[in-house]
Structure formats: structure tokens, C-alpha cells
Amino acid sequence: MDKSVVDHPVLAQLDRELYALVNGVEILEAVAPKNFQQQKQAFFDSKCTLNPAFVYEQHKIDLFQRKRALYQLPVENLPDPDLIQLYSEVIESYVDKLDQYRSVGTSDFVYDSLRYYGEPTVKDIRNAHFVLHVPNELGVEDSVPVDAEGILAHLKAFADMQGYQYELVLSEGMIANALVSGTRVRINTRAKVCQTEVYALAHHELGVHLVTTLNARQQPLNILSLGSPVNTTTQEGLAILCEYLAGYLTVPRLKVLALRVIAVQSMLVEKDFKRTFQLLKEQYKVDDQLAFTICARVYRGGGFTKDYLYLQGFHQMLNAYENCPDFHHLLAGKVSIEQLPLVTRLINKGYLNAPTYISPAISQPSPIEGVSRFMAHAIK
């Protein structure tokens, strides 16, 4: 039987209302420092003794009214129990996201971040230490640097080859080298990475983050554009998995992901930017620029725990890739592994569509050499 949303006016109406209420609620934008470059310069001018004082855009969201409107959506009137579960969980997730907005830039933000993303477990710390003890000589990278213009040219060629809809722009003041927001791909004007990392960036940002956006936009419902609860672990895990399957996940890259776990743990214990910076420098021999970037990522907003999830997500996605027959449904939108069975049922019932775009690293994986395969499967 055709389950078109047109046949279910309550579903169509609720989906539109939910999308209108939470579209644009994006915590990554809210915690992006407006004065990143200035504070970076001030930190080094102070000989690494003055903690950055990041400032953020002020949001104009009436949090109480927005949360009340979310809870008033008539989810119980949806025509299928799986739809009720999906929409209820997404609504609860956005209520938690809105709570994070309330505290951006304050010492309370870390607690809202912990409530949403959690914190590193003993296993996460153990995995990070394992990766960081792998000899560097196993991960020698090519040394020819590629600047922002070179990155842009490669991403454009990659996107055109795959037939993606996209907009590529150079952007000032970013922490990351590249970032996908909707179909806009922003590239840091100061980015300078090796050639292997450019290839990895294409599979990470375009092959997953852009692909899941494009597939979500082809759904009859907006719900997968909004995303499953805490889909960050799955989405970032998929992105790292695609770096791996494409043959571009290097030991130095894995070490950066491990250092993020260590930095999150330090931030929660020390609550002091310069002490976490010194930890990375002295114990793990990280250079100044990378150490600052890692610290800025975990201290932004007042304490952002998201970055420990990358290694954990990679382990989860490698396991799902090797064991879940419906694995590709994770590409249908901003889906989390916890909701994969639910999303698969809704695809089988006709409420959602199977993904149109499949990440090229998943559809045509490269042969993986011994060290990379060992490293990937040793992360538990």
C-alpha cells in the first residue's frame, strides 16, 4: 500500500511545523568563536599564559516558547507507532539542543554539552592511548602542502564527478579546515594540508556530510534533515570510515582524533585552556598550531565534549559496515546508528526513501593495507 505523506495530512502538517520550529538550530554555529584568529594571536603573544576569551553570536531564540511549541506538537496522532517513536525522539533531542543555546559562552555550557554528548569512557581513553603509542614512522605522510585554493579545486572536481549539488566558499576565522552546512561547503582560507589529507577531506566532508544532506532533501519528510538524536557519533564515524575505505586514513590523522579524546578529558578535569595546551605539547609533543586548534575545539562555547566521539564513532561504523545488511540506510539523512532499525522499517513501509547517493568510498572501497587494517580493528 502506498504510504505517501499526502495521504496523511496530520503527518505532513506536523513534519512541516517541526521543521519550521527547529530548522537553523545548529549548535556548531552557535559555538563558533567570532574572534578566533585574534584570540589565537593573543594567546601566543602572551607566551601561552593568557587563556583565550572567545566571544559568540547572541542568539535571538525564545527558548521557553520554542520548547513549549515542540511539546505541543500532536505526535500521538501520527499514523504509525514507528513514526511516533521517531518524531518523539527527535523532539526530545531538540529540546536538549535548545538548552545548550542558553548557556553558550558561560561555565554552565559544559554541563549541557555533557548531558547531550556525554564524556569519554575508560575505553575511549584506552583507545586514544593505544593510537598515540603507535610509532610515527608507520604513518609518514607526503609533505607537499596544499593551500585553500588547492583544496577548493580538488573538492570541486570531486563533487562534480559525483554529480552533487553544492556551493564552495572560502571562509575566514574558522577552526576546522572545512565544514559543510546544508549544501554550502566552507573552506578555511588559512588551511594548509598535505595531499593525502585533501583526498581524505573530500571523502569526509562531501562523501558523507554533503551526501547525507542531499539524501535527506530527497525524502518526502523533513525529519531526516533535522537528524536523529545525537547523530554526531554516527555521522562523524561514517566520515572517518569513508576516509579509511578510500585508503586515506593515516596514522597521523588517527592520532589527531586520539588527541581530541585526551583534550576533552583534560578540559573536564583541568578546566583550563593553557594547561590542556601544555599537556598536548609536553606529553604528546604536539606542535603549537595543532595543539591550539585541538584546545579551541574542546573549550569553545565554555566546554564542548563532542570531539571525543570521532574514534568511538569510527569503531561503531566499521562494525556496522561489516555486520549490518541495512548499513547503507545510514546515508538516507542525518541518521544515528541507534535509529537504524527504525529508519529501515520506515523505508520498508514507504514513509522514507532509501538513499539515492551512496558515498563513493562505500560503493567502491579501496584495498586497505596491513597497518591501516590492524589499527582500525584494534580500536574497540
Query: Distance from first CA to last CA of the chain, Å, rounded?
Result: 43
For residue 351, the model assigns a pLDDT of 95
For residue 24, the model assigns a pLDDT of 81
φ, ψ for residue 151 (rounded to 5)?
-60, -45
Q: Is 345 helix (H, G, I), strand (E, B) or coil?
A: helix
Domain boundaries, the chain: 5-378
Q: Kindly give, in sequence order, each residue whose CB lies less than 8 Å from that of residue 20, ignoring residues fewer than 6 positions away.
A: none
For residue 177, the model assigns a pLDDT of 93
For residue 318, the model assigns a pLDDT of 97
Give CA–CA dist 353/344, Å, rounded: 9
pLDDT digits (tens, 9 = 90+) for 3-50: 565 568 899 999 999 999 998 888 888 999 999 999 999 999 999 999
For residue 138, the model assigns a pLDDT of 57
Low-confidence ranges of the chain (pLDDT < 70): 1-7, 137-143
Q: Kindly give, in sequence order, each residue whose CB lies less than 8 Å from that of residue 151, ignoring residues fewer than 6 positions away.
A: 177, 178, 187, 191, 193, 198, 201
Q: Kindly give, in sequence order, each residue whose CB lies less than 8 Å from that of residue 169, ignoring residues fewer than 6 positions away.
A: 184, 185, 186, 187
Give CA–CA dist 343/83, Å, rounded: 9
For residue 2, the model assigns a pLDDT of 44
Question: What's the half-sphere exposure (Cβ side, CA atoms, 13 Å) at 325?
Answer: 0
Whether the CB-CB separation of 261 and 120 falls below 8 Å is answered with yes
pTM value > 0.85: yes
